[in-house]
């Protein structure tokens, strides 16, 4: 992406005023998308964003500058600006020798989306629209979206690190609206992986569309969700976002350092039932949060955060790990070259347990089965959360029965971990997601097997 000598010179310039650490992050990202709504192509876009972010650290102070000018002069100006912002002193010159480092790729790309004609991508949207409408006359509206991106990055720093990655992602989603006696109901399905256009060899867009449409139609017969505290069974994949939000963020080292996490100072403690092993894994082949290196150049890793109920570690970026005299866990991520890296999750999930999923439902006399969770809010300091239920059903006499209209799950993340008494062996990842934190969004994945929480508050409207 850039000549290594220019990158090395830029780092030397950043250190000229006495910086302790300097880093150059270069990014070249191309993306395209197409949107169909009400049978018409409403949007067909493509774009490119290219530039570099330069970080200089002096003591506890960080200076940062970014530029879209990747000439040697442009990079040098940004390096001097970052050094000045870090209030560096002491002068002198440091020469940096870069050594290229290799990290294994979690997947290989067979067909680059940029090589596929736009007409082929549009045809996928039209196929999805037709398939969704064929599911039932009550389907009144269909929207479908195709998206792809190719993000090439290079990271170099004053420790001599030089690493690069080429991340290709492809996404397809369908949303449907059904109209009936109970009003309008919605259904949605999406697939996305860190692979190329071969995504559509693995997933049939007509099946994606039918799934979304059927979810909307099923909810036409839904009743109001109950209210009160009761057992809740969370289905495979669709409930992973609960643990991402309610537990994962609290295990990020920057929030722990600020005492803004309910898990601060609890390493080595039993924080969950011994069934629970919580993992964050950037190496998961082709998953939405997978990569070869993080945005600080560190290889992706599988990090066990909670093992058999015991809190074993937090997630770390480079600077916070340095302060603690330990290695980074490969969780330094940024939205783009215009942003500083921070501690972020990758693919976060609860590992398989010993139970048959059917036995979990059968053992629940009355409760709620949640197949798919939506967005929510979490207070990382207390762990309190509220999540919407996009697809849920009553459990009666150990059987999944009537669909429920959308309600909320209300609880506390650490308490939920201690109330998981059954854990299935049917692990699945959920839909691709974008995690927001401090104004930055990055792609993430989450997953879970079927599990039961003995007591959780359901916020429904049924009397």
pLDDT number for residue 169: 98
Total number of residues shown for the chain: 463
Residue 7 pLDDT greater than 60, yes or no: yes
pLDDT number for residue 42: 94
Predicted confidence (pLDDT) per residue in 167-223, tens digit: 999 999 999 999 998 789 999 999 999 999 999 999 999 999 999 999 999 999 999
Measured between alpha carbons, how far is 9 from 12 in angstroms, rounded to an integer? 5
- Domain definitions of the chain by residue range: 113-151+167-219, 228-459
Predicted confidence (pLDDT) per residue in 222-275, tens digit: 999 999 999 999 999 988 999 998 899 999 999 999 999 999 999 999 999 999
Calculate what percentage of the chain has a pLDDT beyond 70: 97
pLDDT number for residue 246: 86
Count of CA atoms in the C-beta half-sphere (13 A) of 20: 12
Q: Decide the pairing of beta strands 347-350 and 440-448.
A: parallel
Task: pLDDT band for 89, please (50, 70, 90 cuts).
Answer: very low
Residue 91 pLDDT greater than 60, yes or no: no
Question: How many CB atoms lie under 10 A from the CB of residue 117?
Answer: 8
Mean pLDDT calculated for residue range 37-43: 94
Predicted confidence (pLDDT) per residue in 298-355, tens digit: 999 999 999 999 999 999 999 999 999 999 999 999 999 999 999 999 999 999 999 9
Partners of 210 in beta bridges? none
Helix, strand, or coil here: 33? strand
Predicted confidence (pLDDT) per residue in 117-172, tens digit: 999 999 999 999 999 999 999 999 999 999 999 999 999 999 999 999 999 999 99
Q: Which two tokens stand for residue 121?
A: 């991508």
Task: pLDDT band for 113, please (50, 70, 90 cuts).
Answer: very high
Task: pLDDT band for 463, please (50, 70, 90 cuts).
Answer: low
Question: How many CB atoms lie under 10 A from the CB of residue 308?
Answer: 13
Cα separation of the two ends of the chain: 62
Task: pLDDT band for 295, please (50, 70, 90 cuts).
Answer: very high
Q: Which CATH number is correct for 113-151+167-219, 1.10.3720.10, 3.30.2290.10, 3.40.50.720, 3.90.1150.10?
A: 3.30.2290.10
Measured between alpha carbons, how far is 126 from 461 in angstroms, rounded to an integer? 38
H/E element, 365: none
Measured between alpha carbons, how far is 379 from 250 in angstroms, rounded to an integer? 9
Measured between alpha carbons, how far is 383 from 380 in angstroms, rounded to an integer? 5
Is 343 within 8 Å of 252 (Cβ atoms)?
yes
Count of CA atoms in the C-beta half-sphere (13 A) of 443: 24
Helix, strand, or coil here: 447? strand
Residue 94 pLDDT greater than 70, yes or no: no
Q: What is the mean pLDDT of the chain?
A: 94
Residue 323 CB partners (closer than 8 Å, separation 6+): none
């Amino acid at each position: 992406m850039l000549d290594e000598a220019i990158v090395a010179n830029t780092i030397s310039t950043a250190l000229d005023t006495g910086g302790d650490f300097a880093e150059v992050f270069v990014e070249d990202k191309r993306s395209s998308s197409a949107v169909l709504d009400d049978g018409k192509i409403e949007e067909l876009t493509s774009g490119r964003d290219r530039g570099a972010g330069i970080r200089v650290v002096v003591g506890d102070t960080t200076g940062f500058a970014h530029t879209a000018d990747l000439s040697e002069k442009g990079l040098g100006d940004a390096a001097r600006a970052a050094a000045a912002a870090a209030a560096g002193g002491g002068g002198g010159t440091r020469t940096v020798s870069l050594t290229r480092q290799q990290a294994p790729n979690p997947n290989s790309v067979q067909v680059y989306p940029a090589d596929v004609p736009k007409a082929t991508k549009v045809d996928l949207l039209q196929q999805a629209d037709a398939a969704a409408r064929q599911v039932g006359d009550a389907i009144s509206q269909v929207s479908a979206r195709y998206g792809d991106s190719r993000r090439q990055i290079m990271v170099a720093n004053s420790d001599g690190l030089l690493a690069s990655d080429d991340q290709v992602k492809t996404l397809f989603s369908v949303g449907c609206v059904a109209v009936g006696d109970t009003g309008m109901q919605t259904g949605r399905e999406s697939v996305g992986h860190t692979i190329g256009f071969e995504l559509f060899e693995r997933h049939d867009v007509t099946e994606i569309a039918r799934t979304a449409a059927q979810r909307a139609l099923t909810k036409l017969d839904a009743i109001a969700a109950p209210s009160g505290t009761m057992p809740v069974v969370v289905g495979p994949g669709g409930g992973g976002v609960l643990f991402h939000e309610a537990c994962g963020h609290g295990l990020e080292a920057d929030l722990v350092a600020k005492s803004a996490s309910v898990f601060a100072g609890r390493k080595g403690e039993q924080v969950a039932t011994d069934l629970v092993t919580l993992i964050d894994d950037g190496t998961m082949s082709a998953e939405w949060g997978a990569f070869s290196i993080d945005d600080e150049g560190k290889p992706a890793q599988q990090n066990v955060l909670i093992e058999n109920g015991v809190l074993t570690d937090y997630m770390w970026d480079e600077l916070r790990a340095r302060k603690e005299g330990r290695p980074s866990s490969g969780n330094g991520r940024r939205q783009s070259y215009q942003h500083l890296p921070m501690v972020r999750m990758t693919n976060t999930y609860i590992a398989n347990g010993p139970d048959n999923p059917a036995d979990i439902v059968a053992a629940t006399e009355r409760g709620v089965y949640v197949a798919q969770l939506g967005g929510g809010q979490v207070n990382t300091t207390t762990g309190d959360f509220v999540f919407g239920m996009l697809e849920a059903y009553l459990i009666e006499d150990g059987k999944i029965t009537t669909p429920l209209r959308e309600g909320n799950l209300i609880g506390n993340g650490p308490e939920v971990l201690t109330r998981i008494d059954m854990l299935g062996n049917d692990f699945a990842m959920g839909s691709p997601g974008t995690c927001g934190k401090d104004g930055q969004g990055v792609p993430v994945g989450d997953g879970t097997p079927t599990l039961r929480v003995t007591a959780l508050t359901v916020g429904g409207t049924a009397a």
